């Protein structure tokens, strides 16, 4: 489940970078812990230098 979720986040992030009109680059990942039915899951959420990436799957600063 973790690999699938991270792959979806990376695909969403890749789309975000290609849609940007201004130059923007990757800026590493941050850790996010979400609660699932089977326990806690730690995800690496990608980030960009401009801070404009808002994941559609798991929103910033929101509990899932």
- What is the per-residue pLDDT across 40-56, written as a single tens digit (0 to 9) for each? 989 988 888 888 888 88
Model pTM score: 0.64
Retrieve residue 51's tokens: 């801070």
Confidence tier at 23 by pLDDT (50, 70, 90):
confident
* pLDDT (0 to 100) of residue 9: 87
pLDDT at position 21 over 70: no
Handedness of CA 51, 16, 55, 38 (dihedral sign): negative
The residue ranges of every structural domain in the chain are 2-48
| pLDDT band per the 50, 70, 90 thresholds, residue 20 | low
**Residue 5: C-alpha distances to residues 10, 11, 30, 36, 55 (Å):** 9, 10, 14, 12, 11
């Amino acid at each position: 489940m973790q690999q699938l979720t991270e792959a979806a986040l990376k695909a969403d992030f890749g789309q975000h970078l290609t849609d940007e009109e201004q130059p923007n680059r990757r800026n590493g990942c941050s850790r996010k812990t979400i609660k699932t039915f089977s326990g806690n899951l730690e995800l690496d959420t990608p980030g960009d230098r401009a801070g404009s990436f808002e994941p559609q799957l798991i929103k910033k600063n929101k509990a899932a």
